[in-house]
Structure 1
Amino acid sequence: MSSLTQQGADAPPRRIGSSPAAVPAATMTPVAQGRPGAGRRRDPYLDNAKYLAILLVAVGHVLPVVVEGSRATRALYMLVYAFHMPTFVLISGHLSRSYVGRPDQLRRLLTGVALPYLVFEVAYTLLIRWGAQPERPYSLLHPSYLMWFLIALFVWRTTAPFWSVVRWPVALSLAIAAAAAVTPDLDGVVGMQRVLQFLPFFVIGLRMRPEHFRFLRRRSVRAVAVLVLAGALPFTYWATASIYITWFYRTVSAQEMGVAWGPGLVRVGALFVCATILTAAFLALVPGRRVWFTTLGSGTLCGYLLHGFLVRGGQYSGFFDRFPWLNTPGGRVFLTVATIAVMTLLCTPVVRRALRPVTEPELRWAFRPDGRGGGGPGRR
């Protein structure tokens, strides 16, 4: 990341062995589950999954700082990006399964997703203008760095009622994703390439029921999950020299990566299968009971929005370049542990309360006081 300027959605396809690209990450904001007015008990399993997934996001963002010269680090980087975004999108879809467009849900969508996007898109644009591109324009249609996920979440959630009425929703979403993967120049506005290519995971999350997660946590399934994840890293190590990391970003079409649409569909399909298996393995190993970090799962939005300033700020200022020892095995371990510690702090309740005016505002003045305008339940 030390040689990085403006990358992510705007970066050209590169092999992981060359100048590494920072990639977007994601987080989720839960929606009310069950019937309106029903008691809302947070599921510790989902909060645990969100916290562990956001750690993968942060670690994946700092790995490019020390990826050069270490094939093992490149392999870990690729493995993280093979499934951490599908995991986030799937859980986000599951948390959106009760969304039907009620006034209170629309209000929460605007205040909890749209407003943070507007505020932090401006903030990240200012950061990029300071550190890399002084002439970068302000554009709400071209999300900066990791802000693409909030646009995607807004789009996915508004389509949630549609997936409950169509036949074969997962198959249809896969067809849409496949069509997007072989459609060039689709990512020019609101990151549409990623919105559509990650769509199947959101729909799968919508269709998953609690018993599906209970199945994943069976002892036999968890044993298989350990074997899957244990075998995934050496396989990725073997494959890292021949795979473009851009395939995992899902920012461009197969043709834009120099692959014809037919072979491109095969690769996209293989990537979807691998991502699904790894996501299932990850979810199988997530604790189902309350643990010390369960509460932190409700603060992942804050950690997601803030950690990018630390990563990009360190990159733009040359902070990481001042410590060449980070490129040693011990330095890589230190950086990983430090990243986990910082991300944990960013997800704490005190940070969540500090950001609440932006991430969880009531804004009652902006909505009609009657049922048509959002007189529904308050903050969740």
Structure 2
Amino acid sequence: MNRNAYFDNAKLFLIFLVVFGHLIQPFTDGSHGMNTMYLWIYTFHMPAFIFLAGFFAKGSGNWKYIMNLAKKLLVPYLIFQLLYTGYYFFIGKEGWESGIFYPQWSLWFLFSLFSWHILLIAFKKIPAAAGIITAIAIGLIAGYFGDIGHTFSLSRTLVFFPFFVMGYWMTKEQVMVLKRKGFRIAAVAVLVGVAAAIYIAPEFNSGWLLASKSYGDLGLPEFGGLARLLVYATSIAMSFSALALIPQAHSKLSKLGARTLYVYLLHGFFIQLFRATNLFEVNNFMDVIGLGVIAASIVLLLSSRPIQGLSQPIIEAKASIIREAFGHRGRKSRSEY
């Protein structure tokens, strides 16, 4: 099946924002501008990513399907949980002694993605509108329970699930409606308007966007549901606005959109090393541009064919790229005689 360049472009753009967002996070405390950029990115980059994951979750829910999901998501999760635990200990990072069910840093996404697929077995039997509303209601209610947090990635699983359900029910034709001129003009207005609102608004706790804390921890034990509903509305508008501006044309970089899982799992080794060594400083706008270039370079490196070939055995539990490379080299050598 031919890949759609638009969706590959979207995934490539979003994984760049994941890396860039993680790269600039340490500099948000000392700069209002950096904090605005960080919060702006986080209003949509993971919701949009999760929306696309739901869009491609069209498979069945039989036992074979579930076992394939476990092989694809849970096995890499366990492997990288151990790898990151050892790596954090090596670089002297605090909190390295995390339990197996307390995902290290960004690994929550793998655990949640598996859970979303399992939840979808039941939710796809519910009419689209009712399913989306139910998922939103669950996400709103979850914040009132302090015990729902990082363990098993439960908070993020429940809070971000509505975006996965929305993606599942959207068709390609419906997504492409976003490319109409009127929607693209509105998208620019939304993206700029939210950036301005974040910049001029009172201090905003990033925990509302990370979705890993209860309303009590976020300082709104009574009215947290209303606040999260506003966050949902903002994230939906921002996600659709970002997707409206993604180019449809195929480019040399489009194919990298198929390798975002490699970037997601591997970029933490760079980010955590940078943070542990305080390697970078941000003193002016050119420093921010420099971080953007570094983030893009990390994406290009980790989505390259050699890195994909070397890490494929632990990420996909196969070595087809290495076999293909050595097979091709063997055939070439024999042809020389």
What is the TM-score of this pair, normalised by structure 1? Answer: 0.79
1:80 aligns with 2:41: yes
Give the CA deviation at 1:129.
Answer: 2.1
Give the CA deviation at 1:108.
Answer: 3.1
1:209 aligns with 2:171: yes
C-alpha contact (below 8 Å) 2:44/2:238 kept by paired residues: yes
When residues 287 and 102 of structure 1 are mapped into structure 2, their CA distance, relative to the original with a 3 A threshold, is farther
Structural mapping, 1:31-110, within 5 Å:
40-101=1-62, 103=64, 105-110=65-70
Give 1 or 2: higher helix fraction. Answer: 2
Percent identical pairs in the alignment equals: 27
Alignment partner, residue 324 of structure 2: none
Alignment partner, residue 149 of structure 2: 187
Alignment partner, residue 323 of structure 2: none
State how far apart, in whole Å, the 1-side matches of 2:204 and 2:15 are: 25
Structural mapping, 1:1-380, within 5 Å:
40-101=1-62, 103=64, 105-132=65-92, 136-167=96-127, 168-239=130-201, 241-261=202-222, 263-320=223-280, 324=281, 326-362=282-318
State how far apart, in whole Å, the 2-side matches of 1:237 and 1:265 are: 23
When residues 41 and 135 of structure 1 are mapped into structure 2, their CA distance, relative to the original with a 3 A threshold, is closer
When residues 114 and 179 of structure 1 are mapped into structure 2, their CA distance, relative to the original with a 3 A threshold, is same
Counterpart amino acid of 2:269?
Answer: F
When residues 66 and 133 of structure 1 are mapped into structure 2, their CA distance, relative to the original with a 3 A threshold, is closer
Alignment partner, residue 11 of structure 1: none
Deviation >6 Å, runs of 4+: none
Report SS of the residue matched to 1:292: coil
C-alpha contact (below 8 Å) 2:98/2:104 kept by paired residues: no
Counterpart amino acid of 1:115?
Answer: V
Give the CA deviation at 1:134.
Answer: 6.6
Aligned residues: 317
State how far apart, in whole Å, the 2-side matches of 1:138 and 1:77 are: 26
Report SS of the residue matched to 2:61: coil
State how far apart, in whole Å, the 2-side matches of 1:157 and 1:353 are: 27
Give the CA deviation at 1:102.
Answer: 5.6
Report SS of the residue matched to 2:152: coil
C-alpha contact (below 8 Å) 1:113/1:150 kept by paired residues: yes
State how far apart, in whole Å, the 1-side matches of 2:220 and 2:26 are: 29
Report SS of the residue matched to 2:99: coil
With 218-227 and 199-208 compared, the bigger mean Cα shift is at 218-227
State how far apart, in whole Å, the 1-side matches of 2:107 and 2:47 are: 16
Unaligned runs of 5+ in 1: 1-39, 364-380
Counterpart amino acid of 1:178?
Answer: L
Give the CA deviation at 1:130.
Answer: 2.7
What is the TM-score of this pair, normalised by structure 2? Answer: 0.89
State how far apart, in whole Å, the 2-side matches of 1:134 and 1:232 are: 34
Counterpart amino acid of 1:264?
Answer: G
Report SS of the residue matched to 1:73: helix
Aligned-CA RMSD value: 1.8
State how far apart, in whole Å, the 1-side matches of 2:95 and 2:298 are: 31
With 132-141 and 279-288 compared, the bigger mean Cα shift is at 132-141
Give the CA deviation at 1:97.
Answer: 2.2
State how far apart, in whole Å, the 2-side matches of 1:54 and 1:342 are: 10
Unaligned runs of 5+ in 2: 320-337
Counterpart amino acid of 2:312?
Answer: R
State how far apart, in whole Å, the 1-side matches of 2:297 and 2:309 are: 19
C-alpha contact (below 8 Å) 1:66/1:332 kept by paired residues: no
